[in-house]
A and B are shown apart, each in its own frame.
Chain A
Amino acid sequence: MAMDHDKTNGFKVVGTRPNRPDGVDKVTGRAKFGADAYAPGMLHAAIVRSPHAHARILSIDTSKAEALSSVKAVVTRADFAEGLTGENWNILENVMAGDTALYDGHAVAAVAATTPLAARDAAKLIKVEYEPMPHVTDVDKAMAADAPIIRAGAADSSVPSGLHANVVRYHESGHGDVATGFDEADVVIEDSFKTEATHQGYIEPHACLAQLGPDGKGEVWCCTQGHFNVQKVCAALLGTDSSQLRVTASEIGGGFGGKTVVFIEPVALALSRKASRSVKLVMSRSEVFRATGPTASTSMDIKIGMTREGRITAAEGIFRLQGGAFPGAPMEFTAMCAFAPYDLNNVRQIGYDVLSNRPKQAAYRAPGSPMAAFAVESVVDELCKKLGLDPLEVRLMNASKEGTKASYGPRFDRIGLVETLEAARDHPHYSAPLAEGQGRGVSCGFWFNHGGETSVSLALSEDGTAALSVGTPDIGGSRAALGQMVAEELGIPYEKIRTTIADTATLGYNEISHGSRVTYASGLAAIKASRDAVQKLCARAAAKWGIDEEAVVWEDGYAKPSGPNAGSFEPISLAEIASTMGQTGGPIAGHFEATPEGAGVSFATHIVDAEVDDETGQTKVVRYTVVQDAGKAIHPTYVEGQFQGGAAQGIGWALNEEYIYGEDGRLQNSIFLDYRIPVASDLPMIDTVIVEVPNPGHPYGVRGVGETSICPPLAAIANAVSNAAGVRLKHLPMSPPRIREALDQQANG
């Protein structure tokens, strides 16, 4: 039978809302997270971290710690591989400082001892002699002529000459001629914006249990979004073979991009190799804030021209991103996403990746895109106000569609931006009256989504059940969605399928769970692996009936003759074929490995109502509606959860979350008390509307949904707050002191 068809309707399991497979484990405490693993005789590790923003490390004296009987190993940079280059060198440099501490919290040494307390006490006995150097933590200051150079020679060939050495990468893209475009405009608005760095705020701190022997064989248990990546990076940093290192991903208490990178696993492995014992390493919350990967902070200039009717004639953006002391701030994504919702003849965007004395940034849901939307959508909103135009109608008039040449280059395939805008316009929220002191804001947002290397395996059991093994940690409900897709293909109940996140020894390489790729790519792979198994099931039926394989079809869990010409046989169920598979040709399993490249881009439109207390500058989000194109919602509850989660994190980023550095370059708020993520009572019920414009690159039309949901909130909330307060807010977060300051400045002219 043909196995490469798309399916867009007649679903039986896809689109329903079965129970999540990890639900009972999680509510009963049975689920095992990163810190829940134990090994016989294991040691506990603690890391010594730099108290300086920028300092030369003159000496490290470990003798006092090593003299303790409870201490079994101490490691410094000397205990890791030498001669690394490129990103591996950057990762090692971040995981354990070389001759310079580059930010407050940078790891300098680590110790393994018999108890967690002994390890903590021993860490305090390690004496590090520093020579503090000038530091810089602000993106604009880091680009200024007098800024200290954080790492000489770190810039790549993309950087034009004449820029400060802290500018390490440069991006420029666009099409048309913006100068001509601005001439055609009736109104041009130009403004500057800033956003502060935020943290993903996952509730589970990084944790691992690691073992590495003198023979180079090792095991790691850790909470990560990508255990194959942990394997690859750890092997490189420790100088061992990838295949000798088996990595298993634990349940994960949130990642949002922050667990796509490696921080502690190589340290635990190095300690284990030295001590010949298993080593457990668990970060504290303060370590998570100081030394994992928050977002980049930004400084942005936007210029947009519009005709009286609302047509955008030209758009230009400059995006400066600080991503810590290492190259990698996602400025090209910021630049490329900025104007993606708009069909523009003239557009130009420039990005700068700037070093500063902060921790190495990591991905955070649609890395780089939310900040761009904040700046661009704020200016679009100002233009609409100035011209007296409805902000959704203006966005509809300028919206990207199938065939539009995207601001970042390619032509869009089938996309659902217009559908989200129309659904938002027609939603009762958009026409609901506002109370005194409230303002409404809207915004669009865009994210690319991603495919990536994927390998899955599907094993049938004799009792007619199926086990799906995937290599993409479940960070948003993918075990349920993948099981549903297999159930749909095999024609057996969802409950008969168990989806497992397999370890690195079990499957081919799987890219990290990032880029909203899992339901798309592992989903596509699960469908193809199911079809592979179905083909084998049909072959067994054909053999039994003595007819051609081509003459057998698979329907609702049964092999059937394809029509009257094929002959007349009783359909045989999956369970019947599986029960005798050992005698009819051996075990039946389906496989699929590939790098799917048809991830569909996704757009969203958000509507927010906010209330501002102008005496205190406090904002309350009173109503929130997310409209987003999911392509096809496999498990709608999870899709809605992703929509709500993105909005909730966006509310935090927009209103109160920020990394606050002191004059001394040290992080001031490395606990949840002062790093203010929203608590439940800060949030309204977040309403969701799922739009489904199928992605032609997936058999069922799936687009990723995990990231796009955080693209519009910063802008939509900024627009709502600015409308409520009567003053444009240009610096995130819009904390009460910033809102008060903006009101004061406006009052004083």
Chain B
Amino acid sequence: MQYHTPGSFDDAVELAANAEGITRFLAGGTDVLVQLRADIVTPDILIDVKKIAGVRDITREDGGWRIGVAVSGAEMSEHPLLQKEWPGVVEAMDLIGSTQVQGRATLVGNLCNGSPAADSVPAMIAAGAWVSVIGPDGTRKVPVEDIPTGPGQTSLAKGELINAVHLPERGANGGDAYLRFIPRTEMDIAVVGCAVNLRLDGDKISEARVVLGAVAPTVLLVEDAAAAIIGSTLDEAALEILAAAASAACNPIDDKRGTIKFRTHVAGVLAKRAAKIAYERAGASV
């Protein structure tokens, strides 16, 4: 196995483009190193991105945020302004692992590991986040929902990597929230995850995005669920339609973590609960 510590994204691209065999980027390593030790994936080339300048920075950009690819969950939680503007994204990231894991785990690692149960991904998609992807052919902007293509799979081509995550400007009267269901209180993988991001016009919802995790091969942006609450004041009737739409969108598997029936039902429950929190947060920000 080769281990590289490029000093720039261009060098990282060159290494990755010329790599032969299984290539992995090393951000926090909380997926890569665990998979290596468990004999799941033994990379031939490991490209550590943490030595690249600026990768640990959280910076204001166009009214939104640019989050470096090595920023850890703990660094996000301790950023008061980011936390205030995007509490759903920060709480989703904060759910990952333990204190030790929080010191290393990153948004980009969570996204590119390609797990349908990744906690931060529904929250990023609900927020309308996008990533900049750098590769042999230059840089492109990609919405987060277009990165995962299936369990363990991404749309990144050979030689490409992500060089930052971008959160849009929060704007007025907005709120987001993420909830996951796990049988315990922590240290678990989402059986179902749900993120809701919405904006209010008075007490009516004017914009919404509802995203489900762990109920299909990739994270789902559920437009019917958003439509169910747009224009409503999140009354009981709207909540019931929201739950039904969320459940209807599910295409889960039966496995050791939950049954199809259970996941489908709980997706509806979480959608209602997450929407209520997002609604409250949007209202409080008025």
Contacts and interface: CB of A to CB of B under 8 A. Distances in A.
B256 A660 contact: yes
Interface string B173-203: 0000000010111111101000000000000
A616 B266 CA distance: 6
Nearest to A120: B39
Interface string B254-266: 0111110110011
A655 B182 CA distance: 13
A740 B262 contact: yes
A328 B255 CA distance: 30
A737 B185 contact: no
Interface stretch (A16-24, A150-158, A671-679): A671-679
Contacts, number: 55
B119 to A, nearest CB: 14
Interface residues on A, range: 20 to 34
Contacts of A740: 261-262, 265-266
A618 interface: yes
B269 interface: yes
Interface in B239-286: 255-259, 261-262, 265-266, 269
B98 to A, nearest CB: 9
A674 B257 contact: yes
A565 interface: no
B256 A669 contact: yes
A618 B183 contact: yes
A72 to B, nearest CB: 22
B186 A737 contact: no
A736 B269 contact: no
Interface in A602-642: 615-618
A240 interface: no
Given A616-B181, A735-B183, A673 B269 contact: no
A736 B180 CA distance: 14
Contact of B183 (A120, A286, A668, A736): A736
B258 to A, nearest CB: 6
A345 interface: no
A736 B262 contact: yes
Contacts of A616: 181, 266, 269
A489 to B, nearest CB: 46
Contacts of B183: 618, 655-656, 676, 735-736
A678 B262 CA distance: 21
A682 interface: yes
B159 to A, nearest CB: 30
Interface string A669-711: 1010110101101100000000000000000000000000000
Contact of A682 (B39, B184, B265): B184
A615 B185 contact: no
Interface residues of B, number: 21
A701 to B, nearest CB: 40
Contacts of A678: 184
B5 to A, nearest CB: 22
Given A616-B269, A674-B257, A679 B184 contact: yes
Nearest to A619: B183
Contacts of A673: 187-189
Contacts of B262: 617, 736-737, 740-741
Contacts of A735: 183
A628 B102 CA distance: 41
Contact of A656 (B38, B184, B186): B184
A679 B256 contact: no
Nearest to B181: A616
Contact of A679 (B187, B258, B266): B187
Contact of B188 (A615, A617, A676): A676
A211 B256 CA distance: 41
Interface string B61-74: 00000000000000
A660 B261 CA distance: 18
Contacts of B184: 656, 676, 678-679, 681-682
Contacts of B39: 120
A656 B258 CA distance: 12
B165 to A, nearest CB: 26
A674 B256 contact: yes
A681 B266 contact: no
A255 to B, nearest CB: 23
B40 to A, nearest CB: 11
A144 B258 CA distance: 28
Contacts of B269: 615-616
Contacts of A617: 262
Contacts of B181: 616, 618, 736
Given A668-B256, A674-B256, A737-B258, A681 B265 contact: no
Given A674-B189, A681-B186, A682-B184, 20 more contacts: A120-B39, A616-B269, A618-B183, A655-B183, A669-B256, A671-B38, A674-B257, A676-B183, A676-B184, A679-B184, A679-B185, A679-B186, A679-B187, A736-B183, A736-B262, A737-B259, A737-B262, A740-B262, A740-B266, A741-B259
Interface of B: 38-39, 181, 183-189, 191, 255-259, 261-262, 265-266, 269
7 closest A-B pairs by CB: A737-B262, A681-B185, A668-B256, A615-B269, A660-B256, A656-B183, A669-B256
30 contacts: A286-B38, A615-B269, A616-B269, A617-B262, A618-B181, A618-B183, A655-B183, A656-B183, A656-B184, A660-B256, A668-B255, A668-B256, A669-B256, A671-B38, A673-B187, A673-B188, A674-B189, A676-B188, A678-B184, A679-B184, A679-B185, A679-B186, A679-B187, A737-B261, A737-B262, A740-B261, A740-B265, A740-B266, A741-B261, A741-B262
